[in-house]
Chain A
Amino acid sequence: MKKNNLFLTALFVLTAGLALLSCDKNQFTQGKILYTNFCERCHMEDGTGLRGIIPPLAGADFLETHKTELPCIIRYGIKGDIVVNGKTYQTEMPGEPKLTEFEITNIINYINTSWGNDLELARHTDVRAILKACEAARKEQ
């Protein structure tokens, strides 16, 4: 009995410790790695972008206002003027067509929860549906 209690206590301490550790860190580890490899060189490690040339992701209203377009922008890129936090940006963004639905979901969720961003998480099923729809639309064009 005593041994059992000791075991339970140890388990509790370990779990609490792990929970505390993970509090501090962004849970989207894959999203972070992919962000570093595909997005960071332009949007920067801290999501601030580059002045009037590359829009920020940190604190960007665009993430909320264009929520349903994000998966397609990541996969296929974007051309033409876009407005972020009231400022117009004209730089073309290349897409990353090889990223999977899961990877795109993880990137969005990493962005949505980093640098003070506290946005609703994207769900894989939604991202898949959005990607299917824009893929179909692109084929029709």
Chain B
Amino acid sequence: MLIPFFVWGCQDTAPKDLPILGERDVVNGDTVYHAIPDFAFIDQDSQLVTNETFAGKAYVADFFFVHCPTICPKTSAQMLRIYEHFQNDDRLMLVAHTVDPKRDTVAALKKYSDGLGVSSSKWRFLTGEKDSLYEIADDYFSIAMEDSEAPGGFDHSGRLILVDKNRHIRSFCNGTDPADVDRFIKDIENLLNEEK
């Protein structure tokens, strides 16, 4: 039986454990939480990136494309803030997936990553099969679908997703809203402290 579960508030109070977001399944009396499935993509250095790349680490995921004329530059600017905030903290990585793999080749992603001046071991830019990218996007965003404010309740563009070392989604934010990203950065800090 699937019990739709949605907990996310604007709590900005004392550090406490972040909820595990997404649908829950109860199997033989045990609660099974939504987890990011296996994936395999290629990064800006042509390296294979799988779940193993993030073993023991938390990461922030987003979706973008280099030729994006709308919100991506703002989202990248906020990802850059997160990158700089946690630059010297090896417990966190960043992962940007392209949704335009046809144009966003390894070389294009390398150019973008170099343009931002970021380390490719800390912030991976991923490309791969279009279907696989869209499927994993659906998975990351499955927790964000019940957004009553979004037109049609399904606008997840510009979302940043926080995943813990157990592949569970623990928080998300609107990557175009600096104030929401402030809150998200606190969530990341709380998660890292919780995982000590």
Contact = CB atoms under 8 A, between A and B. Distances in A.
Q: Do A and B bind each other?
A: yes
Interface of A: 41-42, 44, 50-54, 90-92, 94
B186 interface: no
Contacts of A53: 73, 76, 112, 115-116
B16 interface: no
A50 B71 CA distance: 12
What is the interface residue range for chain B against chain A? Answer: 10 to 19
Interface of B: 67, 69-71, 73-74, 76-77, 80, 111-112, 114-117
B74 A41 contact: yes
Contact of B115 (A41, A42, A51): A51
A132 B115 CA distance: 35
Contacts of A92: 67
A52 B73 contact: no
A54 B67 CA distance: 12
B60 to A, nearest CB: 18
A50 B77 CA distance: 6
Given A44-B73, A50-B115, 13 more contacts: A41-B70, A50-B73, A50-B80, A50-B116, A51-B115, A51-B117, A52-B114, A52-B115, A53-B112, A54-B73, A91-B115, A92-B67, A94-B69
A42 B75 CA distance: 10
Contact of B111 (A42, A44, A54, A90): A90
A36 to B, nearest CB: 12
Contacts of A52: 114-117
B114 A41 contact: no
A52 B77 CA distance: 11
Contacts of B116: 50-53
B76 A50 contact: yes
